[in-house]
Structure formats: structure tokens, C-alpha cells
Amino acid sequence: MQKLIINGGKRLCGEIRVQGAKNSALPLLAGCLLTDGRTVLKRCPELTDVFAACRILNELGCKCSFRQGTATTDADSAAGFRITEELMREMRSSIVFLGAVLGRHGRCELSYPGGCELGPRPIDMHLSALRQLGVKIHEEHGRISCTCPRGLKGASISLPFPSVGATENIMLAAVCADGDTVIHNAAREPEITDLANFLVRCGADIKGAGCSTVRISGVKKLRGCEYDVMPDRIAAATYMAAAASTGGELGLTDISCDDLQAVTSVFEEMGAAVYSAGSRIFISCKAPLKAVRIIRTMPYPGFPTDAQAVVMAALTTARGSSMMVENIFESRFRHVDELVRMGADIKVSDRTAVIQGVKKLCGANVRAHDLRGGAALTIAALGAEGTSSVGCVGYIDRGYELIENVLSSVGADIRREF
Ligand code: EPZ
């Protein structure tokens, strides 16, 4: 089991070029299936989840190669419509291939997706929306078989909750459907806008992405294109938390400050000085951190659930008592017990965590239980006194490109032990 060994207490200082967004790269790779010819995705992060998406493309017969942050696909020979259970289980995002495969072949066979354990993660909204687009779904022994006897037909779909994955699946299935599709109560996350921008570059007709109502007029074909994956706003939030936890000063480049507003305002409330302009942000945390009254995770533009754990890690040593309410996932506090091992004072009741700031954390042996929780333990260990080991690094590798190299480039004492 790989571990990160961290000698805490070093102030981080310097500049980090933030990676491309995992949560955008994955649906974009699924979207590549719909294009004729070659598609080139630049700034595609080198992550285990991205490699898993490439394996799914390969299984479907789509060529996919990866070199120095650029994924190149060629879907001309993608005749496959079945995804094996083993690949489906590798990550939650495997489910967005459903919309793309249906868009391409009008049929698809796959299993329920895997992914980080954050509580129940049903796909009922995905399936119900696809039914409204004319898909017949048959489930047996954990396999889901989908066919479109009359082809995919545009529809007006109202989501009961602005699910990111369901919005992406509808978009992928609808871009080449017959007629117009309207998604009401669509997710507004920047990754949705990025997927729409990519599909439009390929020839799709999509309006309103980033708003609650998205309109898609089906087109006959999509062609390959070159596209830059958007910056990873959660990786940016994680490095801001690292600066906060170590009393450091970091400049983050190649990001979109607009996408980070809910997060930057929390760091400002904690007493950090944050300066942002265009694609750069500078955070300085020289003064002791202050507690924040309450943070509620919400769909975008609210505070992102994916930043809850890393911000909590920084709050463990803030002066006073902070409260965090997790509204998106049922079980997203698995990092709490591990933070407590490091000396944090956190009480959880149902979906609320109360964090009473302590003077300092102490190094300990802890282990990641999910991606963002693992990042949070790393952040806590960077600010703690003494040495920590963070186990189950595989979770962290799903979402952060060589986190130890990035952090050591700005002064952290961190190494990977195999
Ligand atoms: C995406 O997951 C992200 N993953 C998650 O990031 C992120 O936490 C989440 O959106 C919320 O922002 C990717 O983009 C790959 P949802 P997704 O559908 O699409 C319920 C990370 O750390 N729901 O918006 O799976 C669901 O259970 C990850 O990078 C249903 O009930 O999220 C959850 O409570 C983890 N039925 C809520 O909606 C459905 O059919 C939000 O889920 C679908 C969702």
C-alpha cells in the first residue's frame, strides 16, 4: 500500500500551475465517442480515473492514446456498445458513457458504476431522463441493457435535483437525437459549461449551459476537434487550503477565478488575503486563521461538496468554532475520524460537523477513505507538528496529478513510500 510521508510544519510558498479538471476531462472523453475523426484534448490530467476512461474508450473500439497531458481519440472504428462490469466499477463517471454510447449506437449495455463511497449514489435520474428520450431499459443481474427502438427523440426533461452526471448524460444523448431537448433544473457547474463548449466546438447546438435551463437541438453528426480541458477548481481549492493550513503564501496560475468565488470567500472569512485576477489567484495566510460561522455545501454556484473536506482540514486549527453542513452526499465525513487521530476536535451529527479549532495538529498514521478526504488528510499533515503517513494514496491519485511533486515544489516535505 503506497503512503505519503509528510513532515509537517513547513510554510508553503511559491507558484503552482493548476492541473486540468478531472470532472470535466471524464465527460469530455465520453463525448469523444460521438465525434467523427480525431479529437485532441489538451491539458487532460494524468489521473487513474482518466486512464480508466481511456480503457473504456478502448473497450468500445475507440482509439485513445495519452501523451504528456494530451489525450487523442479516434472514434471511427468504435463499434462496441458493451462496457464490462470490471471497467464500470472503476469509477462513478463510467456512467456518462451511457449517454454517449446511446448517442452513437442507439443501444448500450453496462453495469452500475463504482466510485468513491460517499453514501448511496443512485442513477435513477439518469435512467428516467433517458427513458424520456425514448430509451427502453431492461435491468437484470446488475446489468443494464438499453435500446432505442425508434431512435433517440428530443424531449422536455425536468430533473428533481440538478445532478451533474444526469445533466451530462442527457446532453451527450441529446446532441445527436432527433429534435429538441430542454433540460429544466439542469446542473450549473462549470464542468457542464465546459462539456457544452466542447460539444459545440464539435458541431453541436446547445444553448444555456451554466443556467438552469439548457436547450439542445439535435444535429446529424459531430466532428473531431482540439479542445483545452478547463482548470480544476477543486485542485485549486485544495492548494488554497494547503496555504491556509501551513500559514503560507501561494500563487495559483491557469485557473478560472470566477469558478472559485464560493471557495475564495470562505478563505477570506478565515482571514486569508486573497487577490485574484483573470486566471491567477494569490493567497496569503500569515495571520492566524479564524473560524467561519457555517458552510453549507450546495450545487454550484454554492460551496462545492468536493471542497468540504480540504477546507475542514484547514479549519481544524482556526480560532473558534466552525460548522459545516454536507447537503449533497449522505456520507462525506469519513475523513473526520482520521483528522481526530491527528488531534482535531470535530463532532459529527448526521450531516453536520462542528469543528472546534485546536492550537495545533500532531502527525499520525492515517488513511484515506475517499479522494477528497485523502487530500484533506494531506493538507492537515502539512500543517501538523511532526511526521504523518497518509495511507491508501490510490484514492488521492484518482484526482490529483502527482500531489507530492506539486506540494514539494512549493516547500512541503513530502514523499511517496512504495
Ligand atoms: C459529480 O458527481 C462529481 N463527479 C462529484 O465529484 C461531485 O461531488 C458531484 O458531481 C457534486 O458536485 C464527477 O463529475 C465525475 P450528482 P455526480 O449526480 O455526477 C444524487 C469528486 O470528488 N443523485 O450531482 O455523481 C446523488 O446521490 C467527485 O471529484 C440521485 O439521487 O453527482 C447525490 O446525493 C465525487 N440520483 C446528488 O444527487 C441520480 O440519478 C448529487 O449527485 C443522480 C444523483
Label residue 363 exposed, middle or buried (CB < 10 Å: 0-12, 13-18, 19+).
buried
* Domain end among 228, 247, 263: 228
Does 359 count as an annotated binding residue?
no
Taking CA atoms, 416 is separated from 7, 287, 294, 397, in Å, by 12, 31, 35, 12
- Reported as a single tens digit per residue, the pLDDT across 126-182 is 999 999 999 999 999 889 999 999 999 999 999 999 999 999 999 999 999 999 999
pLDDT at 103: 97
Task: Report the pLDDT averaged over residues 308-316.
Answer: 98
pLDDT of 115 higher than 70: no
Share of the chain above pLDDT 90, in %: 94
* 225 included as an active-site residue: no
Both 74 and 14 in one domain: the answer is no
* Domain end among 228, 247, 276: 228
Both 216 and 160 in one domain: the answer is yes
Both 41 and 14 in one domain: the answer is no
Contact 372, 399 (CB under 8 A): yes
Does 414 count as an annotated binding residue?
no
**Number of compact structural domains in the chain:** 2
Share of the chain above pLDDT 70, in %: 100
pLDDT at 278: 85
Taking CA atoms, 402 is separated from 156, 159, 373, in Å, by 42, 36, 16
Task: Report the pLDDT averaged over residues 276-302.
Answer: 96
Contact 292, 316 (CB under 8 A): no
Both 34 and 14 in one domain: the answer is no
Task: Report the pLDDT averaged over residues 377-403.
Answer: 97
CB-ligand 1 contact for 123 (6 Å cutoff)? yes
pLDDT at 61: 97
Coil, helix or strand at residue 326: coil
- For the chain, the 3-state helix, strand and coil shares in percent, each to the nearest 5, are 35, 30, 35
CATH number at residue 338: 3.65.10.10
Both 159 and 182 in one domain: the answer is yes
Please give the span between the terminal C-alpha atoms of the chain, in angstroms, as a whole number: 7
Both 302 and 264 in one domain: the answer is yes
Helices (H), 302-399: 308-315, 336-341, 371-383, 393-397
Both 176 and 262 in one domain: the answer is no
Measure the CA–CA gap between 280 and 199, rounded to whole angstroms. Answer: 27
pLDDT at 95: 95
Both 60 and 190 in one domain: the answer is yes
Q: Which three cell numbers stand for residue 375?
A: 487530500
pLDDT of 17 higher than 90: yes
DSSP label at residue 260: G
CB-ligand 1 contact for 306 (6 Å cutoff)? yes
3's enclosing H/E stretch is strand 3-7
Both 100 and 162 in one domain: the answer is yes
pLDDT at 43: 97
Instruction: From the candidates 116, 176, 257, 392, give the one annotated as an active-site residue.
Output: 116
Both 155 and 105 in one domain: the answer is yes
pLDDT of 118 higher than 90: no
CB-ligand 1 contact for 300 (6 Å cutoff)? no
* Domain end among 210, 228, 246: 228
pLDDT of 81 higher than 90: yes
Q: Atom 38 (ligand 1): residue with closest C-alpha?
A: 163
- Reported as a single tens digit per residue, the pLDDT across 360-384 is 999 999 999 999 999 999 999 999 9
Shortest-distance atom of ligand 1 to CA 126 = 40
DSSP E strands: which ranges in 263-375?
273-277, 280-284, 294-296, 321-325, 345-349, 352-356, 365-367
Measure the CA–CA gap between 416 and 56, rounded to whole angstroms. Answer: 28
Both 31 and 126 in one domain: the answer is yes
Both 136 and 106 in one domain: the answer is yes
- Reported as a single tens digit per residue, the pLDDT across 35-68 is 999 999 999 999 999 999 999 999 999 999 999 9
Measure the CA–CA gap between 290 and 303, rounded to whole angstroms. Answer: 18
Structural domain span for residue 126? 22-228
pLDDT at 116: 59
Does 22 count as an annotated binding residue?
yes
CB-ligand 1 contact for 186 (6 Å cutoff)? no
pLDDT band at residue 93 under the 50/70/90 scheme: confident
Taking CA atoms, 94 is separated from 71, 84, 86, 99, 149, in Å, by 17, 11, 11, 10, 24
Average pLDDT, the chain: 96
